[in-house]
Amino acid sequence: MNILVINAGSSSVKYQLFNMKQETVLAKGRVERIGMETAILVHEPAGKSDVSEVSEILEHTSAIRRVLDILVSKDHGVLDSIDQIDAVGHRVVHGGESFKNSVLVDEDVKKEIRRLFDLAPLHNPAHMLGITAVEVNMPGVPQAVVFDTAFHQTMPSHAYLYPVPMALYRKHKVRRYGFHGTSHKYVSERAAKFLGRPLEQLKLITCHIGNGCSCAAVLGGVSVDTSMGLTPLEGLMMGTRSGDLDPAIVPYAMAKEDLTLSEISSMLNKHSGLQAISGLSSDMREIVEAMEAGDKNAALAFDMYEYRIRKYIGAYAAAMNGVDAIVFTAGVGENSEVLRKKVCQQLTYLGIELDEERNRSGRGTEKAITTEASSVQVLVIPTNEEWMIAMDTYSLVQAD
Ligand code: AMP
C-alpha cells in the first residue's frame, strides 16, 4: 500500500509518499509560493535526481495536481499511475476537544475542522484547502486527518484548565490543547523501544526543540501535560515566539507602545524569542556561532532558551513524581550538542551523567547521550511526523 502524506500551509504544500509494506519513502517534496506566478515545486524522488520547477500555481488544487503529475512523470516519477496511491493522510494542527484520535475524512469531520477555524486561523483553513484539493484530484481515495493536538487530549483537567473564569472554557473552549502531539507520541514510542522497556511503565519528558518548541510529560505512554497551550505561543522560548510571559505585559505594552491587538500578537509570535534577544537570528546555528565568537546578546538568548527548557524538565519531573528518560528531538534537539550539554550539566540533581563523546557523535541516529551509570537516560530520537501520519492513515484504512 502506498500512502501520500500532505502538510498543507496557506501558501505551501509539503508531501511524502510512503510504501508501507517496505517502510520506504518513494518521494518527498514541497510546493512553495502558491498563489504566485513564480511558485516552485521541489521534488526528491528516491533513486533519481532531485528536480525543481518554477511555474504559475495559483491555488492548492493546482498544486496537488502538479505533485501528482510529477509522481507519475517519466523522468522524475516513482509510480506508473495515480491509482497506485491508496490513501492520503493530512496533518491538521487543531482538533480541539472533538478529536482524540486520527480519523477518516467524511462530511462530519470536515464540518468539525471548519468549526475549529477560530482556534487555529492560520492553520486549519489551509489544511481544509489541502483536503479539498485531494478530493478534486483523486475522487474516491480515502483521506485521513492526524491532529497535532490529539495526543494531548489525555491531559487531566487540572493540567489543561487555566485558572480564569470557567465561562471562558464553557463558552469558548479556552483551555490548554498542546501541539507537536504526533512528534511527542512518535518519540515516546521509539524511546520505549530504544530502552527495551514497556512504554506503559515509563515516565518520559519529551522535548521537541525546533522552530517551534514544546515539552511534554508522558506517563505510561499518555500525555499528562505539555507546555504549549490554547495556541502554540505558550511555554518554551522559541525562534521567534516568546513562550511564557506575564499576561499583564500584553495590555501594558499595548498602552505604552500604542499597539493594536494584531500588532502585539505579531510581536509575540514573529518578533520575539531568540530573534528578539539576540537581535541577530531565530536560527540556533547562527546563535551558537555568534555566541562562540563572543557576541553577548547571542549568549544571553542561548542562556534564556536553555534555562527555560531546564525549568520545564524540572516541572515535569515534579508533575510525574520522577522521570526515567528525557528525549530531545526536532531541528535543535537533534542537532545542537551544545544545547543538550548545557541542559544536562545542570540536571545532575536528577542523577544525570552526560557522556560527552556520545553527545557529540552519531548525528541523525537514535542514541543515548548519558553514561551507563546515569540514573536518568537522556536520548536523542530523530522525529518522523510524516511516518506517524502514514501509519495512522494505514491503520484507519485497513480497519475501514
Ligand atoms: P525544525 O522546526 O524541527 O525543522 O527545526 C528547525 C531549526 O533547527 C532551525 O531553525 C535551526 O535553528 C535548528 N537547527 C538545525 N540544524 C541545527 C544545528 N546543526 N545546530 C543547531 N540548530 C540547528
| Kind and range of the H or E run holding 33 | none
Mean per-residue pLDDT over the chain, rounded = 97
H or E, element range at 88: strand 87-92
pLDDT at 362: 84
Distance CA 228, CA 208 (A): 11
Q: What is the mean pLDDT of residues 198-208?
A: 98
Question: Residue 148 catalytic?
Answer: yes
Instruction: State which CATH number among 3.30.420.40, 2.40.70.10, 3.30.2350.10, 3.30.70.100 fits the domain covering 2-147.
Output: 3.30.420.40
pLDDT at 400 over 90: no
Domain boundaries, the chain: 2-147, 195-380
User: Quick one: how many helices (H) and strands (E) in the chain?
Assistant: 15, 14
CA angle 288, 289, 290 (to 5 degrees): 90
Contact 274 CB / ligand 1 (< 6 Å): no
User: Which DSSP string do the residues of 113-137 spell out, in sequence order?
Assistant: HHHGGGT-TTTHHHHHHHHHHHHHH
- The answer to whether 1 and 86 are in contact (CB under 8 A) is yes
pLDDT at 172 over 90: yes
Average pLDDT of the residues in 139-144 = 97
Q: What is the pLDDT of residues 352-387, one digit of tens each?
A: 999 999 999 988 899 999 999 999 999 999 999 999
Residue whose Cα lies nearest atom 4 of ligand 1: it is 331
Q: What is the mean pLDDT of residues 100-104?
A: 97
Q: Tell me the three state secondary structure of residue 86.
A: coil
Counting residues of the chain whose pLDDT is more than 90, the rounded percentage is 97
Give the pTM: 0.95
**Phi and psi (nearest 5°) for 336?**
-95, 95
Residue nearest to atom 23 of ligand 1 (CA): 332
Residue pair 101/399 in contact (Cβ under 8 Å)? The answer is: no
Residue 384 is predicted with a pLDDT of 96
Question: How far is 386 from 24, CA to CA, in rounded Å?
Answer: 12
Ligand 1 contact via 376 beta carbon (within 6 Å): no
Tens digit of pLDDT for each residue in 327-358? 999 999 999 999 999 999 999 999 999 999 99
Please name the fold of domain 195-380.
Nucleotidyltransferase; domain 5 (3.30.420)
Mean pLDDT confidence for 141-162: 98
Has residue 212 got a pLDDT over 90? yes
Q: Which residues are annotated as a binding site for substrate?
A: 91
Ligand 1 neighbourhood includes 384 CB (under 6 angstroms): no
284 lines ligand 1 (CB under 6 A): yes
pLDDT digits (tens, 9 = 90+) for 227-285: 999 999 999 999 999 999 999 999 999 999 999 999 999 999 999 999 999 999 999 99
Residues 205-230 have a mean pLDDT of 97
What's residue 122's pLDDT?
Answer: 83
State the residue for C-alpha cell 553527545. 359
Position 86 scores a pLDDT of: 98
- Known binding-site residue numbers: 7, 14, 91, 208-212, 283-285, 331-335, 385
